[in-house]
Amino acid sequence: MEQLPLDEGALVEAARAGDTAAYAQLVRRYQDVAFRVAYLNTRHEADAADAAQEAFVKAYYALPRFREEAPFRPWLLRIVANEARNKRRSAGRRERLALRVAVVPDAPAEASPEDDALLAERRETLLAALARLREKDRRVIEYRYFLDLSEAEMAEVMGVAPGTVKSRLSRALGRLRPLLEEPEGVEP
């Protein structure tokens, strides 16, 4: 059995040459982040899974157009994000589901039930505040802090210049701060 290279560039080149096993390895490498990007755009688990799968198929057929010197991950995630947005638009769904993608760090083993309750309350407060933001603001915060994408990766996924990512993130965080500081039950 032939050993596949682990280097992303070598895998992409092999996939471009028709090696489906190399592409399968790329799919396995990026399927989790692709699903999370799709979920952030659709807010629906089944739609996100469909969008990610369709994006992998589209990316496979678009490999001949992929620029060799470009990083694969942001290119793929942009295709995923576009596919997910298209799926959401075509379904006509309004975003009403709470964001379930936020990762809360595990509490230390010695954490008390009070600490756990406080952590859960803070998470719910954050998710409720995020839900009140405009989609563009919410998206930039989610990409940066929930998916841990770099500014360059965010720029590629969002289809904007890196400087635009920086300014959008700054403005979005500025809009989020007052929502987190409001007393409970008070609408702006």
Q: Cα 32 to the chain's mean position, in Å?
A: 10
Q: Cα 45 to the chain's mean position, in Å?
A: 13
pLDDT tier at 95, thresholds 50, 70, 90: very low
DSSP 160: S
pLDDT digits (tens, 9 = 90+) for 100-140: 444 444 545 566 777 777 777 888 888 888 888 898 898 89
Residue 58 has pLDDT above 90, yes or no: yes
**C-alpha to C-alpha distance for 183 and 174, rounded to whole angstroms:** 17
